[in-house]
Structure formats: C-alpha cells, structure tokens
Amino acid sequence: MPPGFNDSELAAIMERALVPLGERLRPAALVVQCGADGLADDPQSGLELSNRALWSAVAALAPLAPRVLVLGGGGYNPWSVARCWAGIWATLNGGDPAAPLTAEAEAVLRGLRWNHSRARNAPERWFTTLADPPNPGPVRPEVAALIEEVMLP
C-alpha cells in the first residue's frame, strides 16, 4: 500500500475486493495475519491506519469461513501492538474494544517500556483506551486501481 494508507482505503478494499472474493470463493478455512505495523502510531511502515480499521477488517473477514486462524504479526510500538491485538480478541469474541479499560488493563499499558523517541511524549490515549481515533481519508487513485486489478476475472 502507498504511504499514508488510511482507514477509508482499507474499508474500500474490504468492501469492494476482499469480502466479495471471500464470498465467491467460500474458503473452508481462512488465515488472517494481523500485523500492527500498518498503524499510524507505528514508526516503520508510513501507513496511517487506526486499529479500528483493522478490527473492522477482522470482523468482516471472520464470517467468511467456518474456520478462522488469526495471527499476530509485525509492530514496533508496544502500545500499538498490545492495544490492537487486545481489540482484535475483543472483536472476535463479541466484546466492545472501545469500552473503557479497567484499572488493571491501564496498569499493564502504563507498565510497558519502549526506547524510542515516540515513547518520550506518548499520548495519554496509549494508556487509557484500546481504540485509536478513526483516520478516514480519500481513496486515492492508486488504491482504487489496485481494487480494480484484483477484481478482474
């Protein structure tokens, strides 16, 4: 994906390509790799997704097969990874990942350490909520072209 890949672009890919392909192919099993390195708070990829976009993608993909294996993956910001994966677990189990955190969960997040410049001025939301603010944006022509290419017969 191009740098700056946003929530609206992932939603478009899900709605116009991945979910229709899954419905057409009717897989017996589905493997979903949930790397957190595409999140806006991760320093490596240059992508701008919120974890909400990933949770929505997992929620859309999971019903497409009777067996679903969900894997973790990349991610360099420990708060992004922990919050993302906890939200995926909640999503798969019918929970609300945007619900307020317990004091115990907040203590776990506050106990994480990361030797990176971003950790020096960590936003309070990294400790107090699982949910990132949404990051919508335009669906750029290169992303729309990718969707079209994937859906060619």
CATH of the domain at 132: 3.40.800.20
Residue 77: name the closest of 34, 114, 38 by CA.
114
Is residue 151 situated within a structural domain?
Answer: no
With respect to residue 153, please indicate whether it lies within any of the assigned structural domains: no
Residue at 102 is within a domain? yes
The answer to whether residue 85 is domain-embedded is: yes
Examine residue 1 and state whether it is found in any structural domain, yes or no: no
pLDDT score, position 36 = 95
Non-local (6+) Cβ contacts of 47 within 8 A are: 1, 3, 4, 5, 37, 38, 39, 40
Residue 30 DSSP SS3: strand
Calculate the CA 23 to chain-centre distance.
21
Residue 16: domain span: 7-146
The reply to whether 15 falls in a domain is yes
Does a structural domain hold residue 72? yes
pLDDT digits 0-9 by tens, 78-110: 999 999 999 999 999 999 999 999 999 999 999
Strand runs labelled E in 38-105: 67-71
Contact yes or no for 78/111 (Cβ under 8 A): no
What domain count does the chain have? Answer: 1
Cβ atoms within 10 Å of 24's Cβ, excluding its own: 8
CA pair distance 153, 81, nearest whole angstrom: 36
Region for 75 from its dihedrals, namely left if φ exceeds 0, alpha if ψ lies in -120 to 50, beta otherwise: left
pLDDT per residue over 40-74, tens digit each?
999 889 999 999 999 999 999 999 999 999 999 88
Name the pTM for this structure.
Answer: 0.95
